């Protein structure tokens, strides 16, 4: 049964019975062993027992190279822990209290877009429904595997996502190929290529309906800087207002 108020430390130890636990990060461990490969991971799933099992399976850092630096059980906790720990990979359940995995991706968009230290997401879910797979991939996840995956394959998938690869359980890859084969956007979009990385971030947030103040808060910049970026985007794309910009972004499935 879901326990949306909990977010435990990596050893799976629960708090007092019936007491809600705040989201918290787990201290960094040694990163120099495990054959030289290390990856910092956050587990996001609303089932404590599942998180504990994954931690036990892949979190033996000296053996696996995987260091679990935080856990969360709902959307708000996930955003808090991910922002605080800046992991390299997040194992993300699709169905979560507070809006689901897609909402976590939406709120963590600036972290995914960080060119120097990107946070990458790998969906790990019991669901193999096409709409769930496509939803999180369009939200920015680098892959999607089901909970039937073996521990060894999950570790391999985490490292591949860390390196920038896209990873899918075999039958799920077809959903993604079919979905993106139907898009009207060209493989290389010259208009989009004119925009800087920051301008693309602002574009996506504008298209999602964010106000300038909200964008400024999300990206840790001033409202004036947001306005400057929006003006630059409109000029480069030869658009007149944010409504046209939203239609442009939606047509290219950037929202």
User: What would the pLDDT profile of 136-150 be if each residue is shown by its tens digit?
Assistant: 888 899 999 999 899
Q: Which residue has the higher pLDDT, 189 or 144?
A: 144
Q: Which SS3 state, helix, strand or coil, does residue 196 take?
A: coil
Residues 158 and 239: their CA atoms lie apart, in Å, by 40
Residues 172 and 44: their CA atoms lie apart, in Å, by 21
pLDDT tens per residue across span 60-116: 999 999 999 999 999 999 999 999 999 999 999 998 888 889 999 999 999 998 888
- Measured at the CA of 167, the angle between CA 164 and CA 170, to 5 degrees, comes to 160
Distances from the Cα of 206 to the Cαs of 179, 189, 195, 226, in angstroms?
Answer: 24, 19, 14, 10
This prediction's pTM: 0.59
Per-residue pLDDT band at 4 (split at 50, 70, 90): very low
Helix (H) or strand (E) holding 125: strand 120-125
Q: How many residues does the chain have?
A: 255
Q: What residues contact residue 188 under an 8 Å CB cut-off, 6+ apart?
A: none
């Amino acid at each position: 049964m879901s326990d949306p108020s909990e977010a435990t430390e990596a050893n799976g130890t629960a708090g007092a019975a019936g007491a809600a636990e705040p989201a918290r990060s787990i201290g960094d461990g040694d990163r120099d062993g495990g054959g030289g490969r290390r990856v910092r991971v956050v587990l996001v799933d609303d089932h404590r027992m599942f998180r504990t099992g994954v931690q036990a399976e892949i979190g033996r850092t000296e053996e696996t190279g995987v260091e679990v630096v935080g856990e969360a059980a709902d959307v708000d906790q996930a955003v808090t822990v991910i922002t605080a720990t800046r992991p390299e990979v997040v194992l993300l359940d699709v169905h979560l209290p507070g809006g689901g995995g897609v909402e976590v991706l939406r709120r963590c968009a600036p972290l995914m877009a960080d060119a120097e230290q990107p946070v990458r997401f790998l969906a790990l879910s019991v669901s193999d429904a096409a709409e769930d797979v496509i939803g999180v991939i369009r939200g920015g996840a680098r892959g999607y595997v089901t909970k039937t995956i073996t521990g060894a394959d999950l570790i391999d998938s985490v490292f591949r996502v860390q390196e920038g690869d896209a990873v899918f359980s075999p039958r799920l890859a077809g959903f993604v190929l079919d979905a993106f084969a139907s898009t009207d956007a060209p493989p290389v979009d010259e208009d989009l290529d004119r925009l800087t990385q920051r301008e693309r971030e602002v574009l996506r947030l504008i298209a999602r309906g964010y106000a300038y103040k909200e964008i400024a808060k999300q990206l840790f910049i001033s409202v004036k800087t947001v306005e400057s970026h929006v003006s630059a985007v409109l000029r480069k794309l030869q658009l007149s207002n944010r409504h046209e910009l939203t239609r442009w972004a939606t047509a290219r499935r950037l929202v």
